[in-house]
Every structure is written in C-alpha cells, then in structure tokens.
C-alpha cells in the first residue's frame, strides 16, 4: 500500500509518495490520476503537513441552496478537486 503525504518545500505545498526516507513528488490531481514528476526529496528536507492543517475552508460568495441533485466541489491548487453529490436524507420528502 502506498503511503501518501502532503508537504511543504521551499515555501510551496506539494504531495507525494513516501518511500523509505524519500518523498517521490507527484503532480496533477491527487484524487484522480496523480503523476510522478521524477523529483525525489529527502524526507528530512520537507515539512510534513498533517491532515489537520486546513488547506481549504469557507463558502464562496453567492452560494445558493443545496438540493438533491446539486454537486459540491472543492478545488485545492496543486492537489485537485473533490466532487460530492447532494442526496436527500432517508425518509425526507
């Protein structure tokens, strides 16, 4: 199983696969088709970002009412887009 990490290096966030004491840097969309860049960074040279470090939050201006059939999308530069469909709760009219 691959171990993925988020990291900061040279003031920029990134993500990659952990291989021993190295990070194999990837680009593209973490959720759909991350591609290796060929860059390898020593783990000691990066700041590991924990899952609790917020990388996106808030609500866009002009957001409307969410209804079944709507889609909520969150895009994070350098990582990708997460799309979630809105469905009715069980038993809802």
Q: Going from the N-terminus, what domains does the chain have, and what CATH number goes with each?
A: 3-85 (2.30.30.370)
Residue from 82, 80, 62, 60 nearest 72 by CA: 82
Which tens digit of pLDDT belongs to each residue from 52-63? 556 666 666 677
Higher pLDDT, 26 or 91: 26
Taking residues 26-51, what's their average pLDDT? 89
Taking residues 29-50, what's their average pLDDT? 90
Model confidence band, residue 66 (pLDDT cutoffs 50, 70, 90): confident
Report the pLDDT value the prediction gives residue 90, as an integer from 0 to 100.
Answer: 83
Mean pLDDT lowest for which of 23-27, 31-35, 65-69, 83-87?
Answer: 31-35
**In contact, 32 and 64? CB cutoff 8 Å:** no
The 3-state DSSP class for residue 73 equals strand
pTM for this structure?
0.55
User: Kind and range of the H or E element at 47?
Assistant: strand 47-49
**Measured CA distances, 10 to 5, 7, 63, 86 (Å):** 16, 10, 35, 38
């Amino acid at each position: 199983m691959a171990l993925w990490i988020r990291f900061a290096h040279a003031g920029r966030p990134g993500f990659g696969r952990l291989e021993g004491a190295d990070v194999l840097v990837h680009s593209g969309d973490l959720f759909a088709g991350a591609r290796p860049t060929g860059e390898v960074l020593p783990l000691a040279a990066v700041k590991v970002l924990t899952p609790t470090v917020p990388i996106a939050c808030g609500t866009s201006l002009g957001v409307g009412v969410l209804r079944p059939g709507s889609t909520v999308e969150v895009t994070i530069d350098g990582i990708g887009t997460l799309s979630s469909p809105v469905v009715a709760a069980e038993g809802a009219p």
